[in-house]
Amino acid sequence: MIAQLPPLVAIVGPTAVGKTDLAVRLAKEIDGEIVSTDSRQVYRMMDIGTAKASREEQAQATHHLIDIVDPDEALGLAQFQQMAYAAIAQITARGRVPLLVGGTGQYVMAVVEGWKIPRVPPDEALRGELYRQAEEEGPEALHERLRSLDPAAADRIDARNVRRVVRAVEVCLITGQPISEQQGKSPPPYRILMLGLSLDREALYHRIDERVERMMEAGLEAEVQGLVDAGYGFDLPAMSGVGYGQFAPYLAGEVPLEDVVREIKRASRRFVRQQTNWFRQGDARIHWLDAAQDPHPDALELVRRFVGGEELLRARG
């Protein structure tokens, strides 16, 4: 019965490991279209620092959910999930194969696991109050406030993740119900194959360093300056992310450009460590492929067999 469901292929892994390149190659060969699950590539005008697929890559394979909001617009997880499901349904209806591609674990898992997400619009005034509490009293104080409202959510959310704590408290206060009681999972109507790209940590760090250097050569400084000139401040979530927020002290004349480059590389490495919490080598759902070698031949074989309806054992990892 499960083989009769339409296929959905997800390609996951840390930043700079080669997901986009593999996805574009596969899309051309299996008549697929790419649905981005990158929380930063949704922003218009932010191309270089988010490592968005190039114009050439986008010309080779249709991409969805990139360039859909401006840097000062909010895009909640529930809204993203709804848009992803709509894109996947449209691709499937055309008889093509959807490829879910990206390194934002929360976005990927919300789709493949079918998270039930409270559809509570953000209350900016309340959020401001909660962020002030975290800043003035410390993250632990805000986390204790969440514990008083929803102990189960507090056990699940790290106190250091202030953004998630704020959202959990916000939902609890607005709805009058614990956020943990409003959440759950309802798997989507697809057969899902998850491919993971892995690379030795030092080799991955080397790739990150090289990519940051290429971003600088491609004009990242000018991209950031253009965004600032257009009125997008570093207080925006989009502008505080890796590759953008590090320019704030430089544009203020406080540090040299080499410090910015070094901080972007350092922040990217930290981000890789965070991604491992979402994409683990021991996750039996993921067929891991070594990115040190060309993963394309193995990936293509797995995808073709899967699309054809074959049951696949977990790949070597």
CA 146 to chain centre: 25
Task: Report pLDDT digits (tens) over 90-138.
Answer: 999 999 999 999 999 999 999 999 999 888 888 989 999 999 999 999 9
The one-letter amino acid at 81: Q
| Radius of gyration of the chain measured on its C-alpha atoms | 20
Read off the pTM: 0.86
Position of tokens 């700079």? 16
Q: Which residues pair with 49 in a beta bridge?
A: none
Q: Which of 212, 210, 141, 197 is nearest to 315 (CA)?
A: 197
Alpha-carbon gap, residue 13 to 105, rounded angstroms: 9
Nearest alpha-carbon partner for 19 in 1, 39, 8, 34: 34
Span 229-257, pLDDT tens digits? 999 999 999 999 999 999 999 999 999 99
Q: What is the pLDDT of residues 181-222, one digit of tens each?
A: 888 899 899 999 999 999 999 999 999 999 999 999 999 999
Q: Is the pLDDT of residue 300 over 80?
A: yes
Residue ranges per structural domain of the chain: 2-116+186-307, 124-182
Higher pLDDT, 297 or 181: 297
Which CATH number does the domain 124-182 belong to among 3.90.1170.50, 1.10.20.140, 3.30.420.40, 2.40.50.70? 1.10.20.140
Tokens linked to 38: 């990158």
Pairing between β-strand 115-116 and β-strand 63-64 as defined by DSSP bridges: unpaired
To the nearest 10 degrees (0 to 180), the angle between helices 201-218 and 220-229 is 60
Which pLDDT band holds residue 12 (cuts at 50, 70, 90)? very high
Closest CA to 172 of 155, 151, 189: 151
Q: What is the pLDDT of residues 47-58, one digit of tens each?
A: 999 999 999 999
**Residue 46 predicted with pLDDT over 60:** yes
Architecture of domain 2-116+186-307: 3-Layer(aba) Sandwich (3.40)
pLDDT at 2 over 60: no
Per DSSP, the residues of the chain read -GGGSPEEEEEE-STTSSHHHHHHHHHHHHTEEEEE--SSTTBTT--TTTTPPPHHHHHHS-EESSS-B-TTS---HHHHHHHHHHHHHHHHHTT-EEEEE-S-HHHHHHHHTTEE-------HHHHHHHHHHHHHH-HHHHHHHHHHH-HHHHHHS-TT-HHHHHHHHHHHHHHSS-GGGG-EE---SSEEEEEEEE--HHHHHHHHHHHHHHHHHHTHHHHHHHHHHTT--TTSTGGGSTTTGGGHHHHTTSS-HHHHHHHHHHHHHHHHHHHTTTS-TT-TTEEEEETTS--HHHHHHHHHHHHTT---PPPP-
